Amino acid sequence: MRVERWQGYALALTAAALWATLGLFYRALANYGLPAITIVFCRAVVAAAALFAVLGWRQPASLRLTHRDGLFFAAFGLFGVAAFYVVYIHAIDLTGMGMAAVLMYTAPVWVTLLSAPLFGERLTRVKVAAVVLAAGGCALVGRVYDPSSVRVNLPGILAGLGAGLTYGLYTLFSKVAQRRHNPWVTLAYALGAGALFMLPFQPLSELARALTHPAILLWLLALGLVPTLVSGVAFNAALRRAPASNVSIIATLEPAIAALLGWAFLGERLAGPQILGMGLVLAAVKMTHDQ
């Protein structure tokens, strides 16, 4: 049992590391002028299409759903994928990347609080302290101490908190789904449903440009297959092996890893408070491992 839990922690870390590369992909695609709503839609479509193709070939029976399953995945796609992707985009636009990331990583608070009644996970003082440390660390990594990187306004804060809630719902939906489905099927239907809900908001001219521009198409395929598909399956597999609250706290390593990638590959400055924030997140993860 302990070995299985450690496997779950390793998978959660893998997911966080891959999600941390999202900024590199978004920045590259933004250089082509592709709207953010189109980027996240294509991200979901590519990953879902790849999963359905593989599952239809290798495990067609696993794709069969009951009516109840269909309703569940519709709710998952709407609240855990489409709503999360869209409100997070707006939070970035309204408050800046740093503040949006900090607000999004209120997700472990929601997951920890709701996992107790939903899954019977223990709400210990150590776990609460780990959530607080992780949130504080993410705040420092996101440079909330720098007024030039933060735009504080009510719509932006509400959007950021909404991103945190919907990200938390993504985790909880995934945990529930895997009582009946494997990580691949769970991700395929969640992303597929999410993409359907985002479809009406797509500018058709931009979709056509994305499909006919080789460089854009290549970036979108890489985005959908690596930090979306592989990380999503790793995260779902982690939820099968470890408590949802623990996995959610480990995922807060994402902004710390993203900051390191920005420093290593984009020449971004890494300030002292950010390094301190990384240390706080690592401390939170260590406390989680010991639980």
For 42-93, write each residue's pLDDT tens digit: 999 999 999 999 999 999 999 999 999 999 999 999 999 999 999 988 887 7
At residue 290, the pLDDT reads 58
**Whether the Cβ atoms of residue 114 and residue 168 lie closer than 8 Å to each other:** yes
| Residue reference for tokens 């719509």 | 155
| Residue reference for tokens 């409100």 | 87
Mean pLDDT of 11-31: 89
Q: How confident is the model at residue 150 (pLDDT cuts 50, 70, 90)?
A: low
Q: How confident is the model at residue 271 (pLDDT cuts 50, 70, 90)?
A: confident
**Whether the Cβ atoms of residue 22 and residue 225 lie closer than 8 Å to each other:** no
The chain-wide mean pLDDT, for the chain, equals: 89
**Whether the Cβ atoms of residue 251 and residue 12 lie closer than 8 Å to each other:** yes
Q: Name every residue whose Cβ is closer than 8 Å to that of residue 162 and which is 6 or more positions away in sequence.
A: 83, 87, 91
At residue 66, the pLDDT reads 94
**Whether the Cβ atoms of residue 134 and residue 248 lie closer than 8 Å to each other:** no
pLDDT of residue 142 exceeding 80:
yes
Of 166, 11, 161, 12, nearest to 77 (Cα)?
166
pLDDT of residue 30 exceeding 70:
yes
First to last CA, the chain: 13
What distances in angstroms separate CA 146 from CA 21, 41, 232, 251, one per listed residue? 23, 32, 32, 24
Mean pLDDT of 145-149: 75
pTM of the model: 0.91
pLDDT of residue 39 exceeding 70:
yes
At residue 258, the pLDDT reads 84
Flag the least confident range among 8-17, 74-83, 223-232, 251-260.
251-260
Q: Name every residue whose Cβ is closer than 8 Å to that of residue 75 and which is 6 or more positions away in sequence.
A: 173
Q: Domain segments of the chain: what residues?
A: 2-289
Mean pLDDT of 215-236: 95
| Element holding 262 (H helix, E strand) | helix 253-265
Q: Where are the beta strands (DSSP E) in the chain?
A: none
pLDDT of residue 149 exceeding 90:
no
At residue 72, the pLDDT reads 97
pLDDT of residue 243 exceeding 80:
yes
Report the distance separating Cα 45 and Cα 260, nearest Å.
29
pLDDT of residue 289 exceeding 70:
no
Q: How confident is the model at residue 286 (pLDDT cuts 50, 70, 90)?
A: confident
pLDDT of residue 100 exceeding 70:
yes
What percentage of the chain has pLDDT greater than the value 70?
A: 97
At residue 188, the pLDDT reads 97
How much of the chain is in helix, strand and coil states, percent to nearest 5?
85, 0, 15
Report the distance separating Cα 30 and Cα 44, nearest Å.
17
Mean pLDDT of 102-116: 87
At residue 199, the pLDDT reads 96
**DSSP assignments along 152-197, one per residue:** --HHHHHHHHHHHHHHHHHHHHHHHHTTTS-HHHHHHHHHHHHHHH
At residue 248, the pLDDT reads 92
At residue 104, the pLDDT reads 85
